[in-house]
Every structure is written in C-alpha cells, then in structure tokens.
Structure 1
Amino acid sequence: MPEAHEQNAVVMDVLASVAEGYAKGGYFVVVDGIIGPWFLQPFKAVAAPLHYVVLRPPLDVAILRCQERGGDTLTDPEPITALHQQFSSLEQLERHVLPTDGQARHETLGMVIEAVGSGKFRLVV
C-alpha cells in the first residue's frame, strides 16, 4: 500500500545492511521476501556479488499459497493481485524471472540454486 512505502523502504535498508554484514563475515546470504525493483537500490550498494531472482507463479497459485500459509499473513486476493501485477512485467529485469508454474518446492529450489550458480541472475550495478 502506498502509505506503507516509507516503512518498507526502511525495512529494505536494514535488510541490505544486515545482508552486507553477513557477507563481509564470509557467509552466503539469501534474502527471501518481496523485493521489487523499486527497492533494489540499498542492495546495489552492498559490496558483494548480488543475484536477483524473482519467482513468478501464476496469479491463482500465488493467491492459494498466501491463503494456505495461515496465521497473520496476507490472504486478501486484492493486494495479492496488485503485487502480482507489479511483478508481471519487469522490463529490463525480466531476465531475472523464474516461472514456477506447476513445480514442486524442491524443483523451484533446484532452479534457484542453478540460476545463482550459473551467474545468470547476477545483478549488474
């Protein structure tokens, strides 16, 4: 939501700083979350190789997965649809998309590991 942008920007700054701290300590860091291109700038400042992988399930699958998580998570189809639309065309970053239609979790994980290992999803800063 637009009113949450400032809070989300602070969260991304903190995540990038923490990721950089771990990377400087010699750790391989994976930040798993909803990080749109509009929030990549803090990560681009990290002094470590940066890979950007966007998992893109079909909308119906995204809604179902969110609803199945339960608890205090996002379940309303309207904001899920809006997020899905924001990630549906990433222009120059479209090459960072992995479609996940019909895949089991372990298959998606294997694709992410392969993508990062190949350097194909390296973000040039």
Structure 2
Amino acid sequence: MKLASNIAGALLGLLFLTFGLNFFFNFIPMPADPSPADAPHKLFMAALFPTGYLAFVKVLEITGGLLVAVPKTRNVGLLLLGPIVVNILAFHIFLTKGAGLFEPPVLLITALSAFLLWSGRRAFAGLVQP
C-alpha cells in the first residue's frame, strides 16, 4: 500500500506541477474552444485571468504538487489541492454541463486524489472528530 501511495503521490504531484507550470510557460498549447463567447465557462475564465486569481491558484497547484510528491509532506499537499480538485470537478459539472468531465486528466486527478485521501484517512481523522 505504501508503494502504491508513493506512486500515486508522485503522479498527482507531476500532474499538478505540469499544469501549474503550463499556465506560466505555455508549453502545452490549448485547443481552440468552439463554444460561443458568452458561454458560462468562458465568462468565468474571463473573470479569473485579468484579476490574477488564476495565477494565485496555479501557484497553489505548483506548491501542492511539490508537497504531494514528497511522502513526508503529502497530507499538507492534499490539504492545499483538495479545494482545487473540488473546483475542477465543479467547473466541469456546473459550467461546462459535464463536457470534459471524463477527460483523462480530470479522471486521473480525481482518482489519485481520492486514493491518497483514502490511504491517509487516519491522518485526516482528527480534522473531523470533535
């Protein structure tokens, strides 16, 4: 189980590190989106880009990805990345009406996060017990 957690942590860290750094260095080109300009997901992203909010989230993704990749700091990284994973899912469910929800990166991030949360559930038990 420890080996599986280490592999999952390394993969999740690599995913968040890659997509976080891509925001700043643009080494993975974004495909053209054929949806209209007034689509809810485009309006949402149009609000995040110029305000700097998305850059802040991407810095948290990079930091969380680095922390999750190291076994000793994995739980702190999961605490940083948890709300980001929930927002990724909420974005695809509510704003794109499910489009992109079953894309490999989204599925992989969700599955790896859930697995790491489950495998470290004893460490997080103190957060939910009175």
TM-score by length of 2: 0.27
Whichever structure has more helix as a proportion of its residues is: 2
Task: Specify which structure has the bigger relative contact order, considering alpha-carbon pairs within 8 angstroms and separated by 6 or more residues.
Answer: 2
